[in-house]
Amino acid sequence: MDGARFHQISKGERIFEVEDDPRFMVGLASGSVGAYLSYHHDETRLVLLYEEGNWFGDAAVITGEPHRGTGVARTDCAILVVPATHVEKVNERHPDVWRYISMNVLFQIDSYLTLTEAALNRDPVGRVITMLISLKKLNPRHSVFNLSNEEVGQMTGLTRNTANKCLRTLETAGAIERSYARIRVSDLQSLEQHLRQNSTK
């Protein structure tokens, strides 16, 4: 893509900050990036994970509004930075590409709404299931997510201990596999079935 540039980003580096002007959108060539929101001055929460092959920051570019979250590299990453001016030219010259960008934005919005729905679920296990399904659908080529119990709690509005208990329940049911700060969604259908069963109780 003309005008796009590759960058190597180190783990922990911020790609953009909340309230930054939307100067570019980002394609993730390798690595993992977390989207963080601040609900209070002293509290920042992980809300989404972007894995290799994903695009982010495009919603801000399209609307022209400042970024609503902070993008932080969770691992060393290779990213493709596409300036906002270039995105505008794509809109004019390549409607098919623009449609893809727009669909990606809608899919991310749907993921945020799903996570909001998860946080409203009274059943803690249901919250965790909905969050994992959302992550898997946002990153369809990935099954392993590097998440601690505390981060799962952040994303679902649960304490670390409650998040751990919920994950243990799903692990026992065979829907996920766990190792230290890592979750493998081994059976998406099992998660969806578990969610349906919980909602009928």
Asked if residue 26 belongs to a domain, the reply is: yes
Mark whether 16 and 61 lie in a shared domain.
yes
167 pLDDT more than 90: yes
Of 94, 110, 137, the last residue of a domain is: 94
Mark whether 87 and 136 lie in a shared domain.
no
* Pairing of the two strands 177-179 and 182-184: antiparallel
- C-beta of residue 64 within 8 angstroms of C-beta of residue 11: no
Confidence of residue 22 (pLDDT cuts 50, 70, 90): confident
Give me the domain span that covers residue 169. Answer: 121-199
Of 94, 129, 162, the last residue of a domain is: 94
Asked if residue 38 belongs to a domain, the reply is: yes
CATH number of residue 20's parent domain: 2.60.120.10
- C-beta of residue 156 within 8 angstroms of C-beta of residue 133: no
Find all residues with CB under 8 Å of 110, minimum gap 6, and list them: none
Q: What is the pLDDT of residues 115-151, one digit of tens each?
A: 666 666 788 998 999 899 888 888 888 899 999 999 9
Asked if residue 101 belongs to a domain, the reply is: no
201 pLDDT more than 60: no
Mark whether 79 and 130 lie in a shared domain.
no
Mark whether 89 and 19 lie in a shared domain.
yes
CA dihedral 84, 22, 33, 193 (to 10 degrees): -90
- C-beta of residue 31 within 8 angstroms of C-beta of residue 74: yes
Asked if residue 112 belongs to a domain, the reply is: no
Structure tokens at 28: 């993730």
- C-beta of residue 191 within 8 angstroms of C-beta of residue 129: yes
pTM for the model: 0.78
* Per-residue CA distances from 159 to 13, 104, 115, 200 (Å): 27, 31, 16, 25
Asked if residue 115 belongs to a domain, the reply is: no
Mean pLDDT, residues 161-190 taken together: 90
Mean pLDDT, residues 70-76 taken together: 95
Asked if residue 116 belongs to a domain, the reply is: no
Asked if residue 34 belongs to a domain, the reply is: yes
The number of folded domains in the chain is 2
Mark whether 15 and 77 lie in a shared domain.
yes
The Cα–Cα gap between 98 and 100 comes to: 5
Mean pLDDT, residues 41-45 taken together: 72
